[in-house]
Structure 1
Amino acid sequence: MRYEHEEKGEQMKILLIDDHAILRAGLKRILIEDIGAQVGEAADAEEAMRQLQRETWDVVLLDISLPGRSGLDILPEIRSSYPLVRVIVLSSFDDQQFAVRALRDGAAAFLTKERAPRELLDAIKTVMSGRRFITADLADRLASLIACDSPKVPHETLSSREFEVFRLIAAAKTPTEISALLNISTKTVSTYRARILEKMNMTSSAELMQYAIRHALVN
């Protein structure tokens, strides 16, 4: 598989953002051996943003479930600050809600970690050509979602930030912890929590936790 970078004698630069060292090692080996890329690594959002500030990258492989700020949280920031970088979102979750949010916030591709080793090279080739990479099964699910006239499930009514706070609440994080992770005040966390409960027609954090577990929205 040849890329425009190779034809120009340039080395593609790919930043791999994931907190699982074993997964990073596997994907890094593929990227180096198959396309000769220069691969940088980051285990959390803070290190990822430092890497992005220090160097210019062609592609970012971004895990959703990072410690601290999640991939969904920093995706809009990456797209705003580094508009030329192609972002491929990786997820342990196969829920279409994550794909919809990632693509809406500027991701060029969405891959589940289970399928990433098989589809990653095709995804990189596609996004480097300026197009989005969407697998056939995801395209079918997104088409069904768009065409469906049925009401949205409760968590689909949340904004991206509300969805992030919801997932942190569901992961049993305290308001103080959420405040520190998202760099917002505890009062703002409380405001988001009240809004989330109202939108989802629930009355407690326990209900949110049970809902998130049922819908596989937390690890």
Structure 2
Amino acid sequence: MIQIALADDHAIVRAGLRHILSKEVDLRVIAEAENGREAQMLAGREDLDVVVLDLSIEDYCGVDVLRALRLRRPGLPVLMVGQTPETHCAITLLRLGARGYLGRGCEVAEIARAIRTVHRGRRYVTPAVADQLASRAGDEALCPPHDQLSDREFQVFLQLARGTTIGRLADHLALSVKTVSTYRSRVMGKLGLSSNSELTYYALKNGLMQ
């Protein structure tokens, strides 16, 4: 039996997923989280096998929750779900430690298949994403600029793109304002941008922000 946690701030979405998964004999939902804080606490559940995480969960960016789960329990598979089509941000999320990514428009059967796949220790990718990965392996020039960012730089990038101030971000990450400003400068340089509004536009254009 694969034991699952659902982390999504919409109760109706959790209820729908719970109903879908209840029809599978080998899948069981044993925990739920309705915001980012609760989702991060799932790392303490030793009985969990897979976390299904909403990319735009309330309180925290889903990327922040993913990073926290990776730090606290590296072996726990996390399957991300979001509004953006898989080909837009799946590769970035895989690089950050997710085991797979599904757009909300996926077929019902695909959800169960993806959970089983990540539980076996494999990455779940759609054919379109697999094609992208193959193309990038053969031609690094096809990689978008944000693939050059480190995990921390990507985290800072997304928060700034969402309008978070440097001071608030420094408090959230337990870093100094100077350190966050340094990360911001690195992000701007790697992406070739000059303002936070350009960061926001870039994130939206590349499907990195819900």
Match of 2:200 in 1: 209
Could you tell me how far apart the structure 1 residues matched to 2:28 and 2:155 are? 32
TM-score (norm 2): 0.84
Q: Given the superposition, is the C-alpha separation of residues 117 and 147 from structure 1 closer, same or farther in structure 2, using an over 3 Å criterion?
A: same
Name the amino acid aligned to 2:182.
T
Q: Given the superposition, is the C-alpha separation of residues 122 and 82 from structure 1 closer, same or farther in structure 2, using an over 3 Å criterion?
A: same
Number of equivalent positions: 209
The C-alpha deviation readout for 1:182-205, integer Å capped at 9, x for no partner, is: 343333221211111121222221
Deviation, 1:73, is 2.6
Equivalent residues of 2:100, 2:125 under 8 A apart: yes
**For structure 1, which runs of at least 5 residues remain unmatched after alignment?**
6-11
Could you tell me how far apart the structure 2 residues matched to 1:93 and 1:15 are? 22
Match of 2:185 in 1: 194
Match of 1:119 in 2: 110
Deviation, 1:52, is 2.8
Q: Could you tell me the percent identity over the aligned residues? A: 38
Aligned counterpart for 1:45 among listed residues 30, 36, 43: 36
**For structure 2, which runs of at least 5 residues remain unmatched after alignment?**
none
TM-score (norm 1): 0.81
Q: Given the superposition, is the C-alpha separation of residues 181 and 91 from structure 1 closer, same or farther in structure 2, using an over 3 Å criterion?
A: farther
Aligned counterpart for 2:89 among listed residues 95, 98, 102: 98
Equivalent residues of 2:86, 2:103 under 8 A apart: no
Equivalent residues of 1:14, 1:40 under 8 A apart: yes
The C-alpha deviation readout for 1:108-144, integer Å capped at 9, x for no partner, is: 2221222163411111222333333222221112212
Secondary structure, in 3 states, of the residue corresponding to 1:38? Answer: strand
Q: Given the superposition, is the C-alpha separation of residues 139 and 132 from structure 1 closer, same or farther in structure 2, using an over 3 Å criterion?
A: same
Name the amino acid aligned to 1:184.
L
Secondary structure, in 3 states, of the residue corresponding to 1:37? Answer: strand
Aligned counterpart for 2:79 among listed residues 73, 88, 95: 88
Could you tell me how far apart the structure 2 residues matched to 1:217 and 1:203 are? 18
CA RMSD across the alignment? 2.5
**Which has the larger Rg?**
1
Secondary structure, in 3 states, of the residue corresponding to 2:141? Answer: coil
The C-alpha deviation readout for 1:141-172, integer Å capped at 9, x for no partner, is: 22122223425433222222212211221112
Name the amino acid aligned to 2:52.
L
User: Which 4+ runs in 1 deviate beyond 6 A?
Assistant: none
